Structure 1
Amino acid sequence: MKTKNIFVDCHVFDGNFQGTTTYLKGLYTELLKDKTKLFYFGASNIAFLKTIFGTHDNLTYVSYKSKNKFYRLLFDIPGIIKKNNIDFAHFQYVVPPIKSCKYIVTIHDVLFLDFPEYFPLIYRIKNKFLFKTSAKRSDVVLSVSEYSKKQIQKHFGIEKVTITPNAIDSVYFETYNKEEVQKQVRDKFKATNYFLYVSRWEPRKNHDRLLKAFVENEYYKTHSLVFVGNKAIENKVYNDYYTSLPDEIKATIFSFSKVNSQDLLVLVRGADLSIYPSIAEGFGIPPLESLAANIPTICSNTTAMADFEFFGDCLFNPLDLEDLKNKIKIGLNDTQMDQKRNQMKAKFTWQFAAEQFKKAIS
């Protein structure tokens, strides 16, 4: 069997951790075990990338000459592909305009087409063109959920889409001392007895409805509310509501951005309850990570998250404030954690995602 040379554009690791970094880390940590393939990982910060993937006989790190995305796509990557006789090059969402090998593209979602009201017009026009063109020009199109697959097929007319679902980093399943973790959070972040929501800030992420449930049920008297995520699209409804609150309630609401992976793990483990009220997702990793860490978790039941049936009575309609309030009470008294955790662990594995990937490129 001929050894395949696979290039992976890892520029996302030069920024902050997000869904695409989790996906690439999990998928390629598993694929690197296949010694019939040689991998070339490209990024600007090679030193950091090495801390993620380590050293392997079948892995070569290649450094980009520029951090400019246009230079990367037009010059850096085509040069790397030619120099290393690459068979397949793997990209997230957008592929280079010059094609000199087979392309793999993962399109995690097309939510901007399904829920246009949550995205700026220019963003929708630009990304519809880029994502559709990239999908049409690629030899292998991947996505992360049945929901996203169907929407890509619907909007782009691409019939062949392979699902390589996300899974959970094994570190989230490790045992830990809850009291020690809570002390770490208290010392570094000043938060105690808190509800946690991990997600970047966009209107579709529904931060405003969670804040309203927290305030109206007066949880601020016994708990804090912790948001972890970077700013993306301004949520005016949240901003206006938060501004109207008295200072004593604001003092129980924390917001952290640019949180590294280790601090995120600590914040997840220290929570009393993890809440994921997003209205629309291509997958939705954070509620699975908190469940893996044995944290009571309630989750939205829409779009790709409808596949998370193991959450049972802890799923809720993210547009229904009363349902959210009710599920917070149920989540705080959840007695089915072990069963849910085992079902989730069996359903989503990086081994399965890697097998689907290898089938798609064979």
Structure 2
Amino acid sequence: MAAKKIKLFVDAHSFDKEFQGAQTFIRELYNHLLAHRPDIDIYIGAHDTDNIRRLFPLLPPQNILPYKNRGINILRFVFDIPAYIKKYRFDFAHFQYVSPKKMAGCRYIVTMHDMLFNDFRKDFPILFSLTRNYLFGRSIKNADIKTTVSDYSKERICNYYQIPADEVHIIQNGVNNSLLQYQSSKKKAEDWVAEKFGIRNFILYTSRIEPRKNHLLLLQKYLKLKLYEKGISLVFIGKASIKTPGLAKLIKSLTPEQERFFRWIPRAEQADLAAFYRACRLFVYPSKAEGFGIPPLEAAICGTPVLCSSETAMKNFGFFAPYTFNPANHTDFEQKLLLAAQQPPGDAFTSQVARHVEQQYHWQKSSTIFYNLLQANFHCHETKNSDLRHEGHPELLWRV
């Protein structure tokens, strides 16, 4: 008799919004599980089902569950998701940050990527922090399986919500070399960006635009150092997520010459993003707070020189040293930006960093940890159910 498959539902609502790190986490983790773990029957819920079909090519079409468009996204927790859990009798349901009310028989997995809305409250709207503090806290405390993506985030979650450390499991983000499939060389990537966007010889920063991401600091130092006079452009890729008034004001004040060397691209297709990563002379990541920090690793895997913040979760990225900095030390950042922009690290250094990232941050390792968590919890639950059957209490087992 074939072993029972684990039925797992994934809330992929994050794919209905602007790009964020949670999308990479879900996409890479579940594509790896779909490819290598046939004993898991995966279902994914979202509004944009065409997008899910494109991003998860191995997912059976019948396993894509559409959310109804009710105008208020959180209503999926009230109507769509409970109905799907009841209909399909899922063993597990996986949520990012927020989960609905518990349903009997289905164990909830909650991945909380960071606590930045509490640790850096000045960088978030007050209502944003208050609502998330309550909803995220309730969800992670009540989860059957609690996960996060870094040592830093685990420490902050356990500290703030008083959760024992052994209850929170780290499923770290990974990177893969799929970004290298689009252009066969740095020269081809440079030509791609030049032909499509009219940009050459540039510094790159990819991230949603929020105060904590420090786009303002990077643009200020770029202008102060007059790198545009040296023919070096600055490119931001990412959608505005939280208002950053100082940045908007500075961009409006740019001179015609400065404007010519500055580009802000709200959204880029994967092939374009890959080209930008490989073509840039330097990738800079000045963020003062991250739950993990995927973009500098993506840049590194492409063989690109990286100048990276060393704060919060990025303290683990010591392999970028000496091209690291504390963004609170503006003088140090300015000096290192000038040095790295004029004399980027050579191929030997960037190749060494790329190898380290490839060995340390890969989805096979993360998906194995996640899979083992599922298996241990599933078999423990099945054993308890068997005990209940023998005790004559079938009404306690499932199934609502």
Are the aligned partners of 2:97 and 2:111 in contact in 1 as well (CA < 8 Å)?
yes
* Partner residue, 1:169: 176
1:57 is displaced (CA, Å) by 6.3
* Partner residue, 1:334: 345
**1:195-254 Cα shifts (integer Å, max 9, x gaps):** 000011111111111112211211102111000111111222223333333221122111
* Partner residue, 1:144: 149
Following superposition of structure 1 onto structure 2, how do residues 243-322 of structure 1 map, counting pairs within 5 Å?
243-322=252-331
Aligned pair 1:110/2:115, yes or no? yes
The code of the aligned residue for 1:322 comes to T
The separation in 2 between residues aligned to 1:17 and 1:262, in whole angstroms, is 15
**1:79-137 Cα shifts (integer Å, max 9, x gaps):** 11111110000011100125241100111001011111111111111000000001112
Q: Secondary structure at the match of 2:63?
A: strand
Are the aligned partners of 1:37 and 1:58 in contact in 2 as well (CA < 8 Å)?
no
* Partner residue, 1:66: 69
The separation in 2 between residues aligned to 1:241 and 1:63, in whole angstroms, is 42
How high is the TM-score relative to the length of structure 1? Answer: 0.95
Moved more, 178-187 or 289-298: 178-187
The separation in 1 between residues aligned to 2:252 and 2:266, in whole angstroms, is 19
Larger Rg: 2
**1:284-337 Cα shifts (integer Å, max 9, x gaps):** 111110111111111000000000111121111112222223323236431311
Moved more, 242-251 or 152-161: 242-251
* Partner residue, 1:11: 13
The separation in 1 between residues aligned to 2:303 and 2:275, in whole angstroms, is 13
Point out where structure 1 has 5 or more consecutive residues left out of the alignment: none
The separation in 2 between residues aligned to 1:75 and 1:42, in whole angstroms, is 12
The separation in 1 between residues aligned to 2:18 and 2:118, in whole angstroms, is 25
1:275 is displaced (CA, Å) by 0.4
Q: Secondary structure at the match of 2:321?
A: helix
Point out where structure 2 has 5 or more consecutive residues left out of the alignment: 377-400
The separation in 2 between residues aligned to 1:250 and 1:58, in whole angstroms, is 46
The separation in 1 between residues aligned to 2:156 and 2:277, in whole angstroms, is 31
The separation in 2 between residues aligned to 1:344 and 1:259, in whole angstroms, is 24
The code of the aligned residue for 2:31 comes to T
1:59 is displaced (CA, Å) by 7.8
Following superposition of structure 1 onto structure 2, how do residues 1-40 of structure 1 map, counting pairs within 5 Å?
1-32=3-34, 33-40=36-43
Q: What percentage of residue pairs aligned between the two structures are identical?
A: 35
1:342 is displaced (CA, Å) by 0.8
Moved more, 307-316 or 231-240: 231-240
Q: Secondary structure at the match of 2:290?
A: coil
The separation in 2 between residues aligned to 1:225 and 1:57, in whole angstroms, is 42
The code of the aligned residue for 1:47 comes to D
The code of the aligned residue for 2:372 comes to K
The separation in 2 between residues aligned to 1:264 and 1:342, in whole angstroms, is 21
The separation in 2 between residues aligned to 1:59 and 1:183, in whole angstroms, is 41
The separation in 1 between residues aligned to 2:302 and 2:241, in whole angstroms, is 27
The separation in 1 between residues aligned to 2:176 and 2:359, in whole angstroms, is 13
The separation in 2 between residues aligned to 1:334 and 1:352, in whole angstroms, is 29
Following superposition of structure 1 onto structure 2, how do residues 63-142 of structure 1 map, counting pairs within 5 Å?
63-66=66-69, 68-100=72-104, 101-142=106-147
The separation in 1 between residues aligned to 2:250 and 2:19, in whole angstroms, is 28
Pairing partner for 1:197 from 191, 205, 214: 205
Moved more, 183-192 or 308-317: 183-192
The separation in 2 between residues aligned to 1:125 and 1:70, in whole angstroms, is 16
Moved more, 76-85 or 174-183: 174-183
The code of the aligned residue for 2:217 comes to R
How high is the TM-score relative to the length of structure 2? Answer: 0.86
Are the aligned partners of 2:235 and 2:262 in contact in 1 as well (CA < 8 Å)?
yes
**1:248-302 Cα shifts (integer Å, max 9, x gaps):** 1122111011323222222222211100000000001111101111111110000
